[in-house]
Structure 1
Amino acid sequence: MTGTSNPPRILVTRKMMPDVERRIAAAFRATLNPDDRPLSAAEILEKCGRHDGLLLTSFDKLGPDFIPALPPSIRIIATHSVGYDHLSIPQAKARGIAVTNTPGVLTDATADVALLLILGAARGASWGDRMVREDRWGETTLISPLGHDVSGRRLGILGMGRIGQAVARRARAFGMTLHYHSRRPVAAAEASQATYHQHFEDMLPNCDFLSINCASTPETRGIVNAATLALLPDGAIVVNTARGDIVDDGALIAALSSGKLAAAGLDVFRGEPRIDPRYRGLDNVFMLPHIGSATPGTRSAMGHKCIDNLEQFFRGETPTDLLTGD
């Protein structure tokens, strides 16, 4: 760190925003990835010897054997993401390795994308764009193709954390009636006066739209499945800006193909970027390549939050965003 004769060594697995790289190079002995070449788990393990910490991302494909194979020199992992399903927190705790993430700074950017997915899926942004690009505008009539109304409809939010609350505020501007399910209720003002449902299944019949904003945990993985999708009203629309493994792909594709669901808007997928190819053949799916946090300001803020946590740790302080605490 700046002002020390022997600053800690940090391996950075992907290229960061320029201001982030300048700061980390000034504060640490940093090994950067200037070519932004994706590194395999084996390459990261090979490179991180003699390093004290890792700054990695949710793009890194690590696997369950990664943390047990880390060299003993690694004392902290700062992940450039809010989600941490790519890391085993119990394994890190067992090894005595601190893990931090970046909550708070990408709330607005991700909530904006959730609204983009709601509007894009409902109003046919993907098929409308293709019609213009393919010179098929002349095929439109007064009765076909048609999208779906958003204003005044019912929105159910799965997960009323920071991002869920930001989605609720935005949806309120469209006159939507709001419902939510979370592990626990939040203050009415924080939930934009949304109605709380203790059980996820009880909320679903009230949802013309379902926005998935919860963390990926053992309890939520696969929670959107054939049984729960069946509880939605016919013609509902599902959007996901959280994590792909919260959704059962086969069940969602079947519901979209049968007409049970009118449409879906997806920014995240199980196994991304190698998504289930059946999605590509559906005209009623509006898809984005996991761009929830993809703005310059947000990506910079995430990087600086990683560095804040690293600096706090190496000063002997508890990092603000520690995931491996008691």
Structure 2
Amino acid sequence: MEKVIVTRKIPQPFIEQLEAFAEVEVWNESYTPMPRDKFLDSLKDATACFITLSEKIDEAVIESAPHLKVIANMAVGFDNIDVPLVHSKGIIATNTPEVLTETTAELGITLLLSVARRIVEAEQYVQRGEWQSWGPYLLAGKDLYNAKVGIFGMGDIGKAFARRLKGFNTNVMYHNRTRYKDAEEKLGALYVSFDTLLENSDFIVCTAPLTEDTRDKFNEAAFKKMKNDAIFINIGRGAVVDEQALVKALQEGEIAACGLDVLRQEPIDMSHPLLSMSNAVIVPHIGSASMITRNRMIQLCVDNIRLVLNDKQPKTPIKAI
């Protein structure tokens, strides 16, 4: 009989769908990942696994799972999976593109506006009882209207983000390894070099996946090229940013502020210097966190597992890299 390992607690209706064709083992902790040793042990007789970004699929996993046929990753990005290794073993890996595009772009806009208008600082200011009077520059922030916005990574999420900027009458620039004429024609986005993006943007938004080309792309040299009043937003992947360089840039006034939905280490270490900075807003990787979108992501993972275990092609296979 087929066996599916589910590394996070998911709603019962999805489990029942899986139970219709397989034995199902679920880690019933909503907010903590399945321990690594438990995961490896559970894979011994598994034919499928439903994972999140917390699970690293490497040689140890593959060696522990001799019967594995499919890995369903509940994410668009798949830097947690050694894709060439998985494919070399004849295992199919899938992800969840498209279903979370709009929700993630929406979170990006929310984060950008929250940082620009200093919403977190303002709320804490009120909560501490410091709001005693009105002042001309009390918690004055930065306008998005008419600003120059640079997008690094013009995939589906980058395009959805750019589309939302049209209502703010912004000037959108983008840098991407591939030039997208449709984004330029439909969204009025201007393709520029990475340096031009850094030097001219009032806001810089990273939506890029993690690759060898994007790793540490936002480093000390990059932050030095930005405007001193620039705001940096990252809804892509944490390792695209050199966090030590980001801390230094914030401390030395090379940029004004940042908003991060992703970090190199998740969850963040509570001693991280970013947590003590009033001009850094950090949220816990909630880009796709709406009820509708998370349900769609889970359903896509379930559908992919069902299809593969029935010797059919999955809806969203991860292609060779």
TM over 0.5: yes
Determine if the alignment matches structure 1 residue 186 to structure 2 residue 198.
Answer: no
Q: Which 10-residue stretch deviates more, 201-210 or 186-195? A: 186-195
Determine if the alignment matches structure 1 residue 150 to structure 2 residue 160.
Answer: no
Paired residues of 1:41 and 1:63 also in contact (CA < 8 A)? no
Alpha-carbon displacement from aligned partner over 1:252-289 (angstroms, at most 9, x marks no partner): 11111111111111111111103461001111011111
SS in structure 2 opposite 1:77? Answer: strand
Paired residues of 1:67 and 1:88 also in contact (CA < 8 A)? no
Paired residues of 1:98 and 1:324 also in contact (CA < 8 A)? no
SS in structure 1 opposite 2:24? Answer: strand
Aligned equivalents of 2:81, 2:174: Cα separation in 1: 28
- 1:141 CA drift (Å): 1.9
- 1:49 CA drift (Å): 1.6
| Equivalent residue, structure 1, for 2:285 | 290
Aligned equivalents of 1:127, 1:323: Cα separation in 2: 41
Which one of 207, 217, 222 corresponds to residue 216 of structure 2? 222
Paired residues of 2:95 and 2:317 also in contact (CA < 8 A)? yes
- 1:146 CA drift (Å): 1.4
| Equivalent residue, structure 2, for 1:3 | none
SS in structure 1 opposite 2:233? Answer: strand
- 1:221 CA drift (Å): 0.8
Amino acid at match of 2:312: E
Aligned equivalents of 2:60, 2:201: Cα separation in 1: 40
Distance 1:184 1:316, change over 3 A: same
| Equivalent residue, structure 2, for 1:58 | 53
| Equivalent residue, structure 2, for 1:252 | 246
- 1:239 CA drift (Å): 0.2
Paired residues of 1:9 and 1:53 also in contact (CA < 8 A)? yes
Q: Which 10-residue stretch deviates more, 160-169 or 21-30? A: 21-30
Amino acid at match of 1:13: T
Paired residues of 1:126 and 1:285 also in contact (CA < 8 A)? no
Amino acid at match of 1:310: I
Determine if the alignment matches structure 1 residue 162 to structure 2 residue 156.
Answer: yes
Which one of 67, 74, 83 corresponds to residue 68 of structure 2? 74
Determine if the alignment matches structure 1 residue 277 to structure 2 residue 272.
Answer: yes
After TM superposition, the structure 1 = structure 2 runs for residues 257-272 of structure 1, keeping only pairs within 5 Å, are: 257-272=251-266
Aligned equivalents of 2:95, 2:24: Cα separation in 1: 19
Determine if the alignment matches structure 1 residue 108 to structure 2 residue 102.
Answer: yes
Distance 1:35 1:68, change over 3 A: closer
| Equivalent residue, structure 1, for 2:37 | 42
Alpha-carbon displacement from aligned partner over 1:101-126 (angstroms, at most 9, x marks no partner): 00000011110110011101111112
Which one of 282, 300, 304 corresponds to residue 299 of structure 2? 304
Ranges of 4+ aligned residues in structure 1 off by more than 4 Å: none
Which one of 303, 309, 317 corresponds to residue 312 of structure 2? 317
TM-score between both structures, scaled by the size of structure 1: 0.92
SS in structure 1 opposite 2:181? Answer: coil
Aligned equivalents of 1:140, 1:246: Cα separation in 2: 40
TM-score between both structures, scaled by the size of structure 2: 0.93
Amino acid at match of 1:303: I
| Aligned alpha-carbon RMSD (Å) | 1.8
Aligned equivalents of 1:136, 1:115: Cα separation in 2: 28
Aligned equivalents of 2:300, 2:236: Cα separation in 1: 20
Aligned equivalents of 2:235, 2:127: Cα separation in 1: 27
Distance 1:125 1:221, change over 3 A: same
SS in structure 1 opposite 2:225? Answer: coil
Alpha-carbon displacement from aligned partner over 1:138-167 (angstroms, at most 9, x marks no partner): 265212331111111011111111100000
- 1:95 CA drift (Å): 2.1
**Percent identity (aligned):** 31
SS in structure 2 opposite 1:264? Answer: strand
Amino acid at match of 1:196: Y
Q: Which 10-residue stretch deviates more, 122-131 or 17-26? A: 17-26
| Equivalent residue, structure 1, for 2:118 | 124
Amino acid at match of 1:309: N
Aligned equivalents of 1:17, 1:207: Cα separation in 2: 43
Figure out how many residues of one structure are paired with residues of the other and give that number.
Answer: 318
Distance 1:111 1:282, change over 3 A: same
- 1:64 CA drift (Å): 4.3
Amino acid at match of 2:293: T
SS in structure 1 opposite 2:66? Answer: coil
SS in structure 1 opposite 2:259? Answer: strand
Paired residues of 1:312 and 1:318 also in contact (CA < 8 A)? yes
SS in structure 1 opposite 2:182? Answer: coil
Paired residues of 2:18 and 2:306 also in contact (CA < 8 A)? no
Amino acid at match of 2:249: A
SS in structure 1 opposite 2:298? Answer: helix
Paired residues of 1:81 and 1:101 also in contact (CA < 8 A)? yes
Q: Which runs of 5+ in 1 are unaligned?
A: 1-5
Q: Which runs of 5+ in 2 are unaligned?
A: none
SS in structure 1 opposite 2:45? Answer: coil
